[in-house]
Amino acid sequence: MANSVSHHQVSTTNEIAGCRIVRSLGIVRGITVRSRSVVGNIGAALQTLVGGNISIYTELCERSREEAFELMLQHAAAMGANAVVAMRYDANEVAQGVTEVLAYGTAVQVESST
C-alpha cells in the first residue's frame, strides 16, 4: 500500500521544515483539463459589467488547482513518497475555452530531523 502525502508535507521550497530528505523519487504531477460552460460564460460576462472579482472564474480556477494538487499527491504516494518539494502550478489554454492546470514537484521521502 502506498504512503500518503499530507498537505503540510508539500512545499514550494526545496525542503520541508523540521525534516531532512532521505530519498528523492523523481518528478510527480497532477493534471486536469477544464472548460467553461455556456452558463458560466454568461454569468461571468454579467459580472464583468459591474467590475471586480469574477467569482465564477475564481471558483473554477480554485477547483481546477485543487484537483490537480490532489492528483499530484496521489502520484507521489503511489511512488512511495511522504512529501513533495519544489511544488509549482502551471496553466495553459489548450483550445479556446479549454484550460489545462498542472501541479508538479519532486516526490521525496523525509524523516524528522529532531
| Distance separating alpha carbons of residues 107 and 88, to the nearest angstrom | 12
Which pLDDT score, from 0 to 100, does residue 3 have? 63
pLDDT tens digits along 32-56: 998 765 555 555 555 565 666 667 7
| Distance separating alpha carbons of residues 83 and 107, to the nearest angstrom | 6
In a domain, 2, yes or no: no
User: What's the structural domain count of the chain?
Assistant: 1
In a domain, 77, yes or no: yes
Residues of the chain predicted below pLDDT 70: 1-3, 36-54
Share the mean pLDDT of the chain. 86
In a domain, 93, yes or no: yes
Query: Which among 62, 44, 63 is positioned nearest to 53, based on CA atoms?
Result: 44
| Distance separating alpha carbons of residues 55 and 77, to the nearest angstrom | 33
Q: What is the CATH number of the domain that holds 91?
A: 3.30.110.70
CA angle 30, 16, 84 (to 5 degrees): 15
pTM: 0.83
How many other β-carbons are positioned within 10 Å of the β-carbon of residue 17? 8
In a domain, 1, yes or no: no
In a domain, 67, yes or no: yes
Question: What is the extent of the structural domain holding 49?
Answer: 7-112
pLDDT cut 90: percent of the chain above it:
64
9 DSSP 8-state letter? G
